[in-house]
Amino acid sequence: MGKYRFYRHSSYKEGSPRCLWVCVKWCSGCRGSVTSVGAVFTTSRRGNPVIQIGHYRYSRHTRYKLGKKVLWPCVKWAVTNCRASVTTFENQIIAPVFALSKFGKPVIIIGQNRYNKYCRAKGPKANWYCCRWSRVPFFGVSKFGKPVIVIGEYRFNRRSRCKGSRAQWQCCKKTTTGCRASLITANEIIIKSNNCHNH
């Protein structure tokens, strides 16, 4: 998983639906572990096909009666608004693949979609965003209520001197890294961009 390797714990047999994997450096003091849960294709009490993964069940979406690719939303979708889902292709779950991009950065590939790791993510927990999302600028506000533009993993702050409909935006890392990336907008439309970052 990424640059880390895990081996199956001796108390779990091969082929069991639930398995514990421990870091290969367990003897050196590393306590990293991963629990894998196998998927079981079964039927509900009403005879409808479902996928059981651990304690969670997924039912086939009504629009996917025929065809090779099928979407399976969580059975609690209507009750708790759960957005978890599983996608299968020819009755095989499309599993995420951890890889490296051509620039050496970590990516997750799920089917035809690719996700990049958020640059501020530290430690074992990380946020991932779709690589197609990075092309769409998002106009929002910071936690202090100041206007910002987010493009992928980069954030731009509005310069305080700018008044009116035309504004200049600079990378939020300008003071710390000297990044010269900037944007110019008119009526919230980007008319000029220098999206070359040094970080």
Q: What is the pLDDT of residues 34-48, one digit of tens each?
A: 666 567 788 888 888
Spatial distance between the Cα atoms of 151 and 157, rounded to a whole number of angstroms: 12
Residue 134 pLDDT class (50, 70, 90 cuts): low
Question: Distance between CA atoms of 101 and 116, rounded to whole angstroms?
Answer: 9
Q: Where in the chain is the domain with CATH 2.20.25.240?
A: 136-194
3-state helix, strand, coil in the chain (%, to 5): 5, 45, 50
Whole-model pTM: value is 0.38
Q: Does residue 113 contact residue 134 with C-beta atoms inside 8 Å?
A: no
Range with the lowest mean pLDDT among 87-91, 120-124, 158-162? 120-124
What tens digit of pLDDT does each residue of 149-184 get? Answer: 888 778 899 887 777 788 899 998 888 888 989 999
Of 187, 186, 184, the closest CA to residue 195 belongs to 184
Q: Read off the tokens for 16.
A: 């069991």
The second-level CATH assignment, the architecture, of 136-194 is Single Sheet (2.20)
